[in-house]
Amino acid sequence: MNRRQHYRSILALALACGLMLLTSCNATDMKGSEKKAPVISAPPANTSFPMPPLETNSLNNMGWKLADGKRNLFSEFKGKVLVLDFYATWCTPCRKSVPHLIALQNKFGDQGLQVIGLNVGGPEDEEKVPGFAKELGIQYPLAVPDEELVMFMLSDIDSIPQTFVFDREGILAERVIGFGPSAAARIDEAIETALKTSTP
């Protein structure tokens, strides 16, 4: 490898690292000392990361707590196409994804789609959720996931936003990390396919 090729390789690596810096931020970079999930602000080269198969039976008794204190279980949504979106109010790409999720819920809600936003921004962030919902006009449920659910689903990569699309049988159809045009397209495709290929 000559010097020019060497510099090109270094430049390519630097650009790739720069893209990751632009598309993610480490949990320890956020305000306060609490550990928070790192953020992806735009899609990396591949927005669907590999993940060990999710066992539906393992998920069935995991869930989330709504603002009114009611707890939902994953198993309660069998028969629906379920979108679980892990976010934080301080996460800029999460905010950018919200209008898209609202549009999907409005468009496909009567066909059996249910979007649920799961806040992983930490206890201080949970207090900001009502204002966040009002500011962005969110109508779909916002909740705090069980720690067990977070560990189960984000243990390999804890960057946010992360969007999981499950079909009506509770089987994972798509996992998308980050948000941008290609991520949005993958989410749309997974939802539309799940709605067409599964019946209520």
β partners of residue 144: 65
Cα–Cα distance measured from residue 10 to residue 150, given in angstroms and rounded to the nearest whole number = 36
Classified by CATH at the fold level, domain 32-197 comes out as: Glutaredoxin (3.40.30)
Q: Which two tokens stand for residue 67?
A: 């603002």
Neighbours of 13 (CB within 10 A): 10
Residue-wise pLDDT for 114-131, tens only, equals 999 999 999 999 999 999
The answer, yes or no, to whether residue 2 has pLDDT greater than 60, is no
The pTM (predicted TM-score) of the whole model is 0.76
The residue extents of the domains of the chain are 32-197
Over residues 34-55, the pLDDT tens digits come to 445 555 444 443 444 445 455 5
Helix (H) or strand (E) holding 100: helix 92-108
Q: Smallest Cα–Cα separation from 135: which of 103, 99, 184?
A: 99
pLDDT tens-digit map of 137-160: 999 999 999 999 999 999 888 899
Whole-angstrom Cα Rg for the chain: 18
* Mean pLDDT, the chain, integer: 80
